[in-house]
Amino acid sequence: MKGMKDRCLSCKFFRLLDAGSGVCRVEKMDVADYPVKQTDEQCSRWRDCGQQYFIRIGWIKAQKAEEAK
């Protein structure tokens, strides 16, 4: 997709925790054991998440706008 990079933020296995980080769920394990990653990190197991990328970008923008208030 145009504008997407092979980064955690656009990966199928990534789940956001806050505006700057999230967890990598490439391997199924206990929720507490998922490794924390920054949104701009990259790994060899990256898979395109499609439209979810743009939803995440919108959520991050909304979080930052709320913090600025």
Per-residue pLDDT tens over the stretch 11-27 = 999 999 999 999 999 98
The helix (H) or strand (E) run that includes residue 64 is helix 52-68
Per-residue pLDDT, averaged over 36-55, amounts to: 93
pTM of the model: 0.82
Which amino acid type is present at position 11? C
